A = this chain, B = another copy of it.
Amino acid sequence: MKYVCRTEAEEIYNELLNEYKFSLEQLIELSGLGAAQAIAEAFPLNSEMKSCLFAIGPGDNGAKGLACARHIKHFGYSPVIFLVSELLRPSFINFQNQCEMSDIPCLEELPEAEMIAENYSFIVDAIYGNNFHPPIRPNSAIVLDTLMKYKLPICCIDIPSGWDTDSGYLKNAIQPNVVISDIVPKYCVSTIDGIQHYLAGRILPPMLGEKYELNLPQYPGHFMYVKIN
């Protein structure tokens, strides 16, 4: 299986949008759904594994987190969302609206680390994805630090926030327990040991997989995610 660099990931995404004519909302919806289904396997629903905090970034990765939170809610979990900064596009605000109208609370401030550890059983990191360019800005560093303080399990959508797709871990970045790669696994994920690794976002037409020689694992039956490690 190939782990792609940032440029290649961007090329594939742009091809899906411009040549295959997928709408951005369509891609985000499928990615969010696949991630939600992988989360349902990684953190099986029960009375102690129900409430979760979604940290949402301003871009695509955040919008995928919002779609994921909505589906997780349908599955019976109790997600709560926190927007790390303002969403960048009107269509992303629509995803936020869908969450709010689906009765998912949106926190105005990030709680203290102790409160997070008390109230949630796991964290979903949907802050930064493939578009993130280092360095980590000071206000984000505070958020990442708070999320990691009490060693609650952290599940990252696509890329752990603060990591660089090509060069990997950076100081103060998220240290994940679970990573759900989106559409194609990114290079930085290949360097992480001891995590559960899923692939979701079952979108890629076979021809595009062949063109980029991705050699992705086969999704089982009609499942929208596949476990890699």
- Partner of A102 from the list B75, B103, B206, B221 (CB cut-off 8 Å) is B206
Cβ–Cβ contact A22 & B207, under 8 A? no
Q: Which residues from chain B contact A133 at a C-beta distance below 8 Å?
A: none
A225 to chain B, nearest CB (A): 9
Chain A interface, DSSP helix/strand/loop, else mixed: helix
Please report the total number of A residues contacting B with Cβ < 8 Å: 31
Chain B, residue nearest A93 (CB): B21
* B26, B33, B98: the one within 8 Å of A25 (CB): B26
User: Which residues of B lie under 8 Å from residue A30 when comparing CB positions?
Assistant: 29, 33
A173 interfacial contact with B, CB 8 Å? no
Residue-wise interface mask of A (66-84) relative to B, using a CB-CB cutoff of 8 A (1 in contact, 0 not): 0000010011000000000
Cβ–Cβ < 8 Å partners of A29 in chain B: 26, 29-30
From B23, B37, B71, B207, contact of A94 by CB (8 A): B23
- Determine which of B21, B91, B222 lies in contact with A37 in the assembled complex, contact meaning CB atoms within 8 Å: B222
Cα distance A29–B21 in the bound complex, in angstroms: 13
Cβ-based interface call for A119 (8 A) = no
Q: Does A20 sit at the interface, judged by CB under 8 A?
A: yes
Q: Which residues of B contact A206 (CB under 8 A)?
A: 102-103
Which one of B74, B103, B221 contacts A207 once the chains associate, using CB atoms below 8 Å?
A: B103
B interface footprint on A1-33 (CB within 8 Å = 1, 0 otherwise): 000000000000000000111110110011001
What residues on B are CB-neighbors of A23 within 8 Å? 23, 25, 91, 94
> 4 tightest A-B contacts by CB?
A21-B94, A102-B205, A40-B222, A23-B25
